[in-house]
Amino acid sequence: MTNDILPRSVQRLIDEFSRLPGIGPKTASRLTFFLLRAANEQSAELSEAVRLLKSSTRLCSNCFNITEIDPCPTCSDDARDDTLLCVVEEPLDVVAIERSRVYLGRYHVLHGVISPVEGVGPDDLKIAELIQRIENGDFIEVILATNATLEGDSTALYLQRRLMPYEVKMTRLARGLPVGGDLEYTDEVTLGRAMEGRQELI
């Protein structure tokens, strides 16, 4: 379909859907035409959900996970182990690890990885905040749970060097995880075994 065939409002929504990760032009068109045929209530519910997503969520001031209350429920949970800190790339990684039900410590979300190609450096991530938490906390072990990718490994190596001066044990998830894969797509059994078999960084 060409732009001059479709009404401007329809094409605009297709274009906006196409900007989302994993959605190409065909899927964007299907979603748009589905909403055109759907009841007004369904479109209104979707619009309201997107509005609430932006207006009601924020970053936890402690771990930087996405939350509606600050501090987040995980940081507010007194039953969790204050001596364990798991460092992840994205909020979805927290969800994946929580599904494994083998980790009961604290989290720190970096919101990305170091990637010179993408113009992302250490100052663009929540690394300064991580160091401050370690300085002020009672952590015995820091688990560097970045993805098994070139950028994830580079970020873990950078963090290892930055955290060397602190008396804290540093570990990485076991390599049962697929190299090049993302935590959020890993099944809970594999992720649980990787967490249990984490290795100390020397």
Give dist(CA 14, CA 32) in Å, integer.
6
Structure tokens at 190: 């594999």
Instruction: Dihedral sign for Cα 74, 80, 85, 89, please.
Output: negative
| Residue 175: pLDDT band with limits 50, 70, 90 | low
The per-residue pLDDT for range 11-22, each reduced to its tens digit, is 999 999 999 999
Mean pLDDT over 19-31 rounds to 95
Residue 145, pLDDT > 90, answer yes
* Superfamily (CATH H level) for 8-56: RecR Domain 1 (1.10.8.420)
Structure tokens at 8: 């401007």
Residue in the block written with tokens 């771990």: 63
The per-residue pLDDT for range 68-78, each reduced to its tens digit, is 999 999 999 99
Q: What is the mean pLDDT of the chain?
A: 91
Number of alpha helices (DSSP H) and beta strands (DSSP E) in the chain: 8, 7
Mean pLDDT over 84-93 rounds to 97
Note whether 98 and 77 are within 8 A (CB): no
Mean pLDDT over 137-141 rounds to 94
Strand 66-67 with 169-172, pairing: unpaired
Residue in the block written with tokens 């936890």: 60
pLDDT at site 1: 45
Give dist(CA 93, CA 65) in Å, integer.
10
Residue intervals of the chain classified under CATH 1.10.8.420 are 8-56
Comparing 13-17, 97-101, 109-113, 128-132, which segment has the lowest mean pLDDT? 97-101
Which architecture does CATH list for 66-200?
3-Layer(aba) Sandwich (3.40)
Residue in the block written with tokens 């998830």: 173
Question: For residue 174, which amino acid is it?
Answer: A
Residue intervals of the chain classified under CATH 3.40.1360.10 are 66-200
Mean pLDDT over 62-70 rounds to 97
Mean pLDDT over 176-192 rounds to 71
Note whether 35 and 42 are within 8 A (CB): yes
